[in-house]
A and B are shown apart, each in its own frame.
Chain A
Amino acid sequence: MTAPATGSRARATGLRPWLFAPVALARVAWLRTLIYLYVVFDVLVVVTDPIPHGWVPVELYHPVLVRQVLHLPAPSPVYVRVLLAVILLSALVAATGRLPRIAGLICAFGMLDWISNAFSYSKIDHDHYALIIALFVLPTVGRARYRDVDVRTEAAGWAIRMIQTSAVAIYFLSAWAKMRFGTWGWANGATLIWALTRRPNGLAPWIASHPTLTHALQWLILVAESCSPALLWLRGRALAAGLLFFLGFHASTYYLLRIHFLPLVVCLFAFMPLERIAPYVASRRTARIGRNNPVTSR
């Protein structure tokens, strides 16, 4: 069923070409593999707190609003282990591209439970926002295969755009929060020294002993976060440069503070033309076969 009328109206307002720009299903297929495999890594290596939280007395449990609204129970040792099994199973199925809607939605709700559990003991990280959004929008696309390079749909475009905007929201709103909580004096303050002092690694102590350098780094962070919405409009090498900057930023924080923001990093792949992977691999294979079997003439 086509929808020319709505399309024309939305096009006139400029919303549809931006929010629903068709994207190859192959990109969704690759992104699913990446994100669902990351979920396995996330629950086994990165956010492991929910398992020991099963032992924590209930008086230290302060459920975030979403747990109260959904009536999710206080974690217990059995509950969190069953939840872990459900997440692992659904993520592995969804990573293969099978049952994309059912397995994807089970994984999304499972992760909402898992991460909200991790954050219901009075410590919230904001690195999982884009991942949670990704897990809820990816099932809406339906079936997608690596070979769907030339099949471009608006459903895929919307899902990819939502993941992109969520990743950018983390950066941009981080700058906003610095103004709200840290005030305009944040960039010239000693927050980075505070972090480097508490979690020092590598060159951290040396950097912490140079306040001018830490001020320059804080200004760089603030400006980069404020300019991050540009990622939504940049193309080609400019986009690649922007992504490399943020990947470098996360690598630096991991080196200096052991803070990696991997759940956000994995969502940055939504900006990349992953649909070119299969054609690139195929062309390399063809070239190799051509070299090994040269056409000879008598």
Chain B
Amino acid sequence: MQEGSRGRLTPTAVGWRVVVTAALTVGVWAGTAVGNDQWWPFAPMSQYAFLVQNGQAGIVNSPFMEARLTDGTLERVALSAQGLGIERSEIEGQLPSFIREPSRMQAIAILRARREPDAPRYTAVYLRNRQTRLDAARTEKIIDLASWQVRDPQDPESWDGRP
């Protein structure tokens, strides 16, 4: 029995709730003060918390992926839950590891084969960045970040060099 007359909690019921309150408070504060995304649900409340410089110094990066198909055409990789099954923002979160280790992009070809088995497979995957400068003209340029020649394009999952 946790509650007595008029809905008052017993000392035990109050005690564990106070401990939980303290733990959650410390956790969520520490997460934003010193934590990182791995701490979720106590991850820093950091959406849109980064600084973008004004004017000439300001740059908007919009990474994207393209892929060469077995029929030779170049296609924009549909980075969304409904498309390939992984979001552009998730690819952005893994950008440094793709650049450091392009072989990780074999996983993009595998995902394509799993999600759309009847569609032409990827033979190469390109990671690119559309960079827009926040000047008056909104100057744009495309930068190549990494590329990967897919191993065993017809059966990319069989490649034994996967990380």
Which residues of A, 158-217, contact B by the 8 Å Cβ criterion? 158, 162, 165-166, 169-170, 173-174, 176-178, 180-183, 185-186, 188-195, 197-198, 211
Are B50 and A182 in contact (CB-based, < 8 A)? yes
- Say if the beta carbon of A289 comes within 8 Å of chain B: no
Which residues of A, 221-257, contact B by the 8 Å Cβ criterion? none
Are B111 and A57 in contact (CB-based, < 8 A)? yes
Q: Please tell me which stretch of B65-73, B86-94, B118-126 contacts chain A, meaning at least 4 of its Cβ atoms lie within 8 angstroms of it.
A: B86-94
Are A173 and B28 in contact (CB-based, < 8 A)? yes
- Say if the beta carbon of A7 comes within 8 Å of chain B: yes
- Say if the beta carbon of A10 comes within 8 Å of chain B: yes
- Say if the beta carbon of A87 comes within 8 Å of chain B: no
Q: A191 touches which one: B10, B40, B45, B50 (CB < 8 A)?
A: B50
Are B51 and A186 in contact (CB-based, < 8 A)? yes
A53, A121, A122 interface centre (most CB from chain B within 10 Å): A122
- Say if the beta carbon of A12 comes within 8 Å of chain B: no
User: Which residue of chain A lies nearest to B57 when distances are taken between CB atoms in the complex?
Assistant: A190
Chain B positions within 8 Å of A51 at CB level: 81
Are B40 and A1 in contact (CB-based, < 8 A)? no
User: Which residue of chain B lies nearest to A5 when distances are taken between CB atoms in the complex?
Assistant: B11
Known contacts: A155-B9, A181-B49. The answer to whether A3 contacts B14 by CB under 8 A is yes
Interface string of A1-17 (1 = CB under 8 A from B): 11101110010000110
Q: Please tell me which stretch of A36-44, A92-100, A126-134, A271-279 contacts chain B, meaning at least 4 of its Cβ atoms lie within 8 angstroms of it.
A: A126-134
Which residues of B, 96-117, contact A by the 8 Å Cβ criterion? 104, 107, 110-111, 114-115
Q: B7 touches which one: A116, A133, A152 (CB < 8 A)?
A: A152
Are A55 and B60 in contact (CB-based, < 8 A)? no
Which residues of A, 96-136, contact B by the 8 Å Cβ criterion? 112, 115-116, 119, 121-129, 132-133
Chain B positions within 8 Å of A151 at CB level: 7
CB distance from B114 to the nearest CB of A (A): 5
Interface string of A281-292 (1 = CB under 8 A from B): 000000000000
Are A129 and B28 in contact (CB-based, < 8 A)? yes
Chain A positions within 8 Å of B129 at CB level: none
Are A193 and B58 in contact (CB-based, < 8 A)? yes
Given A49-B87, A65-B39, A190-B52, 20 more A-B residue pairs with CB atoms under 8 Å apart are A2-B5, A2-B8, A55-B111, A57-B162, A59-B162, A60-B107, A64-B39, A122-B92, A126-B43, A154-B7, A166-B28, A173-B28, A173-B32, A174-B47, A176-B32, A180-B32, A180-B49, A181-B46, A193-B58, A193-B134
Q: Which 10 A-B pairs have the closest CB atoms?
A: A122-B93, A153-B7, A52-B85, A2-B4, A177-B49, A182-B51, A57-B107, A173-B32, A173-B45, A6-B11
